[in-house]
Structure 1
């Protein structure tokens, strides 16, 4: 059993190891632009929808690091926050930028995050025609791309200035597409065979966005795959089965859902290979979120997750501490773990800051293809 200081010591070791494996990376990029959903949203939905009462706008969200809700779907920081910190580049939510006193036309910054909680890869109209609703927003990846294009004139005025901006910018496209599948499985109650037919459409939308960013001038893009959703408490609760063969005996995750996530990731990597051939001078990096997270499920004690991996830290009870009628952020019947650093899962759908920190660290080690750290150092 780890002592109460174990998570602190582990976090310290993460920071020390990053300074060793990535010493020259600080300064190799000067800007970050990020697209995605709740895995990356650092406040856009929160800022743009102040009158909404989403559970993740309420305590205990944000309690670990910020000590108050910020619109992040976690107890603290996300992967994009750690990438921002590791590279020394501040990244502001898009809606904070356009609502600031500075004004969008005079904005001079190092990074902008366009990600929105609940965002999908496909347009809401297309999903609606497929019978897939979105309970949070109608924002898609295409919408975020339009925001970026609207902001671009305030970031660079001439083609040479834009070339200079893009040459030192890291553009993160995703994670995105998860909600297209989540909403179909959980809200529309589609079967997995039907949802699998959505994968080519989602991949095509991601690829189209990447190509358009490249045509605008992007030269380095980081494209994450999807998480192993069969390990998330919400799916384990919704699709709980007495059939032990449906579960991975080593992790307790649902095999068929993880196989689906792996299928999406395989198709995404195949598409990225084609795009690399079309644009041989562009750096297109695949971020393996799936396996970076799976190692935490296979060896939780090694990473300090002694409280549980498939059980949510904050939730309304049940075997996985997830209850759709008593979600984290609502007061009725919700319990919160004593130490969030002992858990990988925060609210049943999203991860804890501790898990996101380990994933971010992994991206600078062996879970990007080609290696993000090698590329960064060689180009810096």
Structure 2
């Protein structure tokens, strides 16, 4: 009796693997997650900031969104984000921004609390240090409050726990803006490393712990991108010292070293959390190295411009836009193009840039009787 069932699962899994490798879902019957719940900043915001009053809502107008959506959606890119590609790979719709929903049913397949410009730390932390955030006063704590007050408390707690257990939680990317505001407003690197990084890591850790208490069992935690390759940072920290630049990529070494420092501290904290929460799979998503591939081997991805922005002066009136965004890594000086986000997403989904691999989520879910063995093989991330 067991052998036909096993062979059937093998056959089904093989078909799913083939389909998944071309970046398409296998279908509802073998879906590993019922929804995605996302937190973060402009790397994940699918339209929350544009629903707030803000004079810096540049993503509310073209050319933002021009490549895929052909209209602005609030995404800080010319098209889709990493989160969008992950949703597509899981056979789920693009996430609705939290501020766009009118009723609970809008969140059936997921909800996005990410807000462009958001920080991990509370806005008061920056005010005390004379740092100004013109984008938003939304922090990770605010996003968690939205989740708790408007997502979980409106339904029975048992249903809330069940919802979280069947969802993939994306914790960020978050924390990048904490450093962006500090660096670009003159705070020394040493102070940011000693005073900001521990607070950011602790805040992210506390948020993950709260979500686990609510019922989360599958959490992806991205690290920071290599900020030393960002045109904004290359402009602000331009130097005549060639030793400050990587001879292969042209990126600023000390800024990338800072990004790596944050990421190492984050990974250490995630290891600690894994020891405390054995029933939850916590994945580190290595945005840094997935992105660095684009700078070290751009031709492998079809890029011929890595260190300048496709959309010049994009944060001002009358932007100038390149003819082929897909040939650029950077979109507007700080955010990336859809082509770059897709390449990073592929590195996460098919490459070595998640640890542990996301398919282990499904293995754990299968051990609780929630999924079949075909799911375990299908999620080859």
Distance 2:121 2:152 in 1: 26
Tell me the equivalent position of 1:313.
Answer: 310
Which residue, out of 340, 344, 354, partners 2:325?
340
Structure 2 residue ranges without an equivalent (≥5): 1-17, 366-370, 372-381
Cα pair 2:82 2:341 within 8 Å, conserved? yes
Cα pair 2:49 2:57 within 8 Å, conserved? no
Task: Indicate yes or no: 2:117 matched with 1:118.
Answer: yes
Distance change >3 Å, CA 19–CA 164, structure 1 → 2: farther
Tell me the equivalent position of 2:85.
Answer: 82
Distance 2:183 2:225 in 1: 15
Tell me the equivalent position of 1:360.
Answer: 345
Shift of 1:68: 1.5
Give SS of 1:134's match: coil
Distance change >3 Å, CA 28–CA 311, structure 1 → 2: same
Task: Indicate yes or no: 2:348 matched with 1:351.
Answer: no
Cα pair 2:161 2:214 within 8 Å, conserved? no
Cα pair 2:56 2:135 within 8 Å, conserved? no
Shift of 1:279: 0.6
Cα pair 1:59 1:329 within 8 Å, conserved? no
Task: Indicate yes or no: 2:34 matched with 1:30.
Answer: yes
1:37-69 deviation digits (Å, cap 9, x = unpaired) = 0010000001222x6353332221111011111
Which residue, out of 176, 191, 196, partners 1:194?
191
1:129-166 deviation digits (Å, cap 9, x = unpaired) = 1222111000000000000001233674242x233212
Which residue, out of 313, 317, 324, partners 1:331?
317
Task: Indicate yes or no: 2:97 matched with 1:93.
Answer: yes
Distance 2:345 2:154 in 1: 27
Tell me the equivalent position of 1:298.
Answer: 296
TM-score by length of 1: 0.86
Output aligned runs, 1:1-380, within 5 Å.
Answer: 18-19=21-22, 27-49=31-53, 52-90=55-93, 91-97=95-101, 100=102, 103-104=103-104, 107=106, 109-153=108-152, 156-159=155-158, 161-186=159-184, 188-197=185-194, 198-306=196-304, 308-315=305-312, 327-332=313-318, 334-365=319-350, 366-376=352-362, 379=365, 380=371
The runs of at least 4 aligned residues of structure 1 exceeding 6 Å deviation read: none
Distance 1:23 1:262 in 2: 36
Distance change >3 Å, CA 230–CA 27, structure 1 → 2: same
1:82-126 deviation digits (Å, cap 9, x = unpaired) = 1111112222100011xx2xx34x655110000000000000011
Structure 1 residue ranges without an equivalent (≥5): 1-14, 316-326
Shift of 1:273: 0.4
Shift of 1:378: 6.3
